[in-house]
Amino acid sequence: MRGVQLSLNKGQNLRLERALDKLESLSSKANSDASVTVADDISVNYEDAILKGHGTTELDGRVVATLCGVVERVNKLVYVRALRARYKPEIGDIIVGRVIEVAPKRWRLEINFSQDAVLMLSSMNLPDGIQRRRTAIDELNMRSIFEENDVICAEVRGFQHDGCLHLQARSQKYGKLKTGQLLTVPPYIVKKRKQHFHYLDQYGIDLILGCNGFIWVGEHVEVRDDMVEDQINKSDQENLNSGNTLSSNEVEEEAYTPLDTRQHMCRIANAIRVLSTLGFMITVELIMEILNLSKSLNLDIHEMLGGEFHVLVAEKEAERRSSLTKKR
């Protein structure tokens, strides 16, 4: 949270420091048992056969932390999760990535990790939706599915025997993302949840919070059934065969995004940028709060990135957390 680079006057700087101090004191009280620094003792029950995991060591019969972070316990395993760290893929993570290479039978993606990820042709749904073996023709048509610089949503499958990180996209909700913005934030401020796909129906926006720190804000796209897709494809093919082709104006009209939708997209993206600058955890609830705050103040979209709005968001978050601790 410290080291926020904003152009603030003296009054705004004092208010921001005061809000950040309050937030730090509240978080230290809430996590006094869980947060540790280097050489702190970790309380464990020595009668149980505990397993010492990452960020811990044994010193003179005591379990000591070797990292600054939060103590996590899974059954008998005790480890320290670093507060700030690079993205570490886990099986089942929802990620957003960008295609950097089309290779034989695979696409190579940049996912904000120490190495590139691989999406195999056999690990994704084909456009026709039919489950079948991939042929040489499918391999020749790979560029018609994804090409360089395309943004894709996928799921982490795991590290395979070849040492590469493999992805999969075996559902209609995964695939190519169009008409939107790709934002990059530190991965450790994206809270892992059961649901990372969010549809903000009042704005007509799809929000994908990638566990790897890539966030997609785009126009809503309806996910259709395989059977419905097949029927649509057949009808389209019949129309093409009968000579009923769409004119260029109709194609442009289909691809056009309304001005209101684009403004909502930019406002949501700026709310995420504010959270990232302040170092707050990014959740859909907090994004909506910042969105509503900017609307209640009648701020233009570009004014959300100003110093005054950052200070107001920090003060509101300090008030919210303070009220939560009082209720407890």
Alpha-carbon distances, residue 56 vs 39, 61, 204, 269 (angstroms): 9, 13, 46, 38
Per-residue pLDDT at 85 = 76
Q: Do the bridges between strand 77-82 and strand 56-59 make them parallel or antiparallel, or are there none, so unpaired?
A: unpaired
- Runs of H (alpha helix) within the chain: 10-30, 136-140, 142-145, 226-241, 248-255, 259-278, 284-296, 307-327
The three-state secondary structure class of 203 is coil
Which of 117, 118, 134 lies closest to 126, judged by CA?
A: 134
- Predicted TM-score of the model (pTM): 0.79
pLDDT tens profile 110-157: 999 989 999 999 888 877 666 778 888 888 888 988 999 999 999 999
Per-residue pLDDT at 109 = 94
The β-bridge partners of 200 are 205
Give the Cα separation of 29 and 42 in Å (integer): 17
The β-bridge partners of 35 are 70
Per-residue pLDDT at 230 = 43
Give the Cα separation of 249 and 255 in Å (integer): 10
Highest-scoring range by mean pLDDT, 65-69, 201-205, 238-242: 201-205
pLDDT tens profile 281-291: 899 999 999 99
Give the Cα separation of 102 and 311 in Å (integer): 45
CB 152 within 8 A of CB 111: no
Domain positions in the chain are 35-82
Give the Cα separation of 298 and 294 in Å (integer): 6
pLDDT for 241 beyond 70: no
Please report, rounded to a whole number, the percentage of residues in the chain having pLDDT higher than 90: 38
pLDDT for 320 beyond 70: yes
pLDDT for 226 beyond 90: no
As given in the structure block, the two tokens for residue 157 are 């499958």
The 10 Å Cβ neighbour count of residue 64 is: 17
CB 83 within 8 A of CB 70: yes
Per-residue pLDDT at 6 = 76
The values of phi and psi at residue 264, to 5°, are -60, -40
CB 305 within 8 A of CB 273: yes
User: Does 271 or 253 have the greater pLDDT score?
Assistant: 271
When the candidates are 1.10.760.10, 1.20.1260.10, 3.60.150.10, 2.40.50.100, the CATH number that belongs to 35-82 is 2.40.50.100
Give the Cα separation of 319 and 322 in Å (integer): 5
Name the pLDDT band for 73 (thresholds 50, 70, 90). confident
